[in-house]
A and B are shown apart, each in its own frame.
Chain A
Amino acid sequence: MSRLPITKTPKVYVGGAFIRSESARTFPLQDAAGHFFANIPQCTRKDLRNAIEAAAKAGPGWAKRTPYNRGQIIYRLGEMLEARKADMTDALAVGGATKSAAAKEITATIDRLIYYAGWADKYEQVLGNVNPVASPHFNFTVTEPMGIIGLLAPAEVPLLALVSLIAPAITSGNTVVALASSTQPYPAIVLGEMLATSDLPGGVVNLLTGFRKEIVPTMATHTHLRAIAGVASADERKTLKLGAADSVKRVKLSKTEEPTDWFSDQAQSLYDLRDHLEFKTTWHPIGA
């Protein structure tokens, strides 16, 4: 007897749950050979709004964890990815990645997570300061997470680029809402399944799939997002900067037309961590 195929319904990982788009819309995804692969949720601005609510809820708890614990959890995410390499290889193959290309991307992704996991309880020593002042005060500069960060993943290297954007933001206690690659969204769906089984609290990382033109304008104007990072075209950069100016958020975008080498060591840095931090300077009287 032939068995009916059991196909997976791809769902996005938002607020610790797997959801369909609020609009109930989907778009068909073709694999590299041009065959229908699956219907992917077409998330809209309302999904973005809901994801930001989820990120806001998770924010204080995540920021309050010890840096050491955040490091452990991000390391654990690396472990999850290591253990499920085969799944991720299949997911990347949907976009046409060969076995060796997928292996290279997955290894680089795991290494990136481990890199930021290591920074979790160390960046404060490097970025924070005791400042010399000419008065009887201790003067400290310490860092604080900004809050909710909006991320725009590029089309290419759908896993590594996405994780390279997420990891520095969450390491310091921010929560993120990320729009996955619009041409290769499937690895982000599988990444969501791995996030759910790492010890990451729900809502810290929220992944959306869908069309950039529906999400970008709302991301630009939503006042609850404190920063936007990622890769954007010239038109999108303009929209994002105009919207961000109104709502006073930090924008750091690289250009679609100048591709980033996500595999290089330049794609990971303490300064990517610093991009999502606020600095607070306090004066403390000596002897009090």
Chain B
Amino acid sequence: MSAPAQSVFRRLFDEVGPVDHVGIEERVAKYTTRSIKKNAKLWGLKTAVSMVDLTTLEGKDTPGKVASLCQKALRPHDGLDCPPVAAVCVYPAMVKHARRALGEDTAVRIASVATAFPSGQAPLRTRLAEVKAAVADGADEIDMVINRGAFLSGEFQLVQDEIVAVRDACGSATLKVILEVSELETYDNIRAASFLAMRVLRPGDFIKTSTGKTTLNATLGNNQVMLEAIRDFYLDTGTPIAMKPAGGIRTAKQALQFLIAVKETLGDAWLNNTRYRFGASSLLNDLLRQLEKERTGAYQAPYYFSEAAESY
């Protein structure tokens, strides 16, 4: 890293405060020891279902596949008392198909990854055009990726300007800013990037861990760093920013551990799907499986549930 880049990083770290790496690891290790049973588990599972951004992000996505994903989003499983999921998350080209499948008056929102997902390596005007097209097709939420190249070379103003440009292109749609934590390399960088994004976001916009397209995705550790950034930013400014871990969360057990992290870091105000989401595709099936297990008392075979899109 060049000397000027180093100094801007140091200045930003000084502003937002450092991350205690060991402290974070110790803290999140405790989350996996909580015993959540019976009613609390049931509540947690249902809440987690209502927070899922049911995702399919594959080259082989078709309008038909998106339509069946939408059906599943509206009614996750027959004979089970559980809420619809928060949103479906699709590529921009699939937004209009999702809108047709869900209709205008629906509890399930449509999220679309835009801005040359997952790399973000396209000219800004192309990325903005993609965002506008997705919103025009009916997307309620836009998941953008930040310019990691600019961030890592210390061009923070550029990173923020691009977020602002995308935010303005979103209009009334909610914005989710993907930091792609695995490419940021350190907890300090994750915290710094979180602050860069939060400073230009509107209340209710999200910061999101990752695209799900790299090797390392959402972990309790980087989730915790971002939750603490959200907490500190909220205490400073009063602006509540929402959070979405994505990628790698496949089991109900993991989801409950993430909810514990939210509860113990941000409190009950964040335990709903306007403030916290899971970006996942196979998680929903495991949640349903555990809910069905709680209902019947018998462990369930996975083939009793409709097939999940295996993109995350």
Contacts and interface: CB of A to CB of B under 8 A. Distances in A.
A56 B299 contact: no
Interface in B282-312: 297-302, 304
Q: How large is the interface on B (under 10, 10 to 19, 20 to 34, 35 or more residues)?
A: under 10
A52 B304 CA distance: 15
A247 B300 CA distance: 9
A44 interface: no
Interface in A48-65: 49, 52, 56
Contact of B304 (A56, A222, A223): A223
A177 to B, nearest CB: 12
Contacts of B298: 221-223, 243, 246-247
A241 B171 CA distance: 61
Nearest to A222: B299
A49 B299 contact: yes
Contacts of A56: 302
A223 B297 contact: no
Contacts of A221: 297-299
Contacts of A26: none
A243 B302 CA distance: 18
A212 interface: no
Contacts of A224: 299-302
A50 to B, nearest CB: 10
A218 interface: yes
A28 to B, nearest CB: 27
Contacts of B297: 221
A222 B301 CA distance: 8
Chain B interface SS verdict (over half) = loop
Interface string A221-236: 1111000000000000
A123 to B, nearest CB: 26
A221 B298 CA distance: 5
Interface in A200-225: 218, 221-224
A222 B299 CA distance: 5
Contacts of B300: 223-224
Interface in B71-97: none
A224 B300 CA distance: 6
Nearest to B292: A223
Q: Name which of A49, A218, A221, A243 has the most chain B CB atoms within 10 A of its CB.
A: A221
A224 B298 CA distance: 10
A52 B298 CA distance: 13
A63 to B, nearest CB: 15
Interface in A80-116: none
B289 to A, nearest CB: 10
Contacts of A52: 299
Nearest to B303: A224
Contacts of B301: 223-224
Nearest to B301: A224
A285 B301 CA distance: 35
B33 to A, nearest CB: 12
Q: Name which of B297, B298, B302, B304 has the most chain A CB atoms within 10 A of its CB.
A: B298
A68 B151 CA distance: 57
B250 to A, nearest CB: 12
A243 B299 CA distance: 11
Contacts of A246: 298
Contacts of A49: 299
B305 to A, nearest CB: 11
A249 B300 CA distance: 13
A224 to B, nearest CB: 4
Contacts of B299: 49, 52, 218, 221-224
Given A221-B298, A222-B299, A246-B298, 18 more contacts: A49-B299, A52-B299, A56-B302, A218-B299, A221-B297, A221-B299, A222-B298, A223-B298, A223-B299, A223-B300, A223-B301, A223-B304, A224-B299, A224-B300, A224-B301, A224-B302, A243-B298, A247-B298
21 contacts: A49-B299, A52-B299, A56-B302, A218-B299, A221-B297, A221-B298, A221-B299, A222-B298, A222-B299, A223-B298, A223-B299, A223-B300, A223-B301, A223-B304, A224-B299, A224-B300, A224-B301, A224-B302, A243-B298, A246-B298, A247-B298
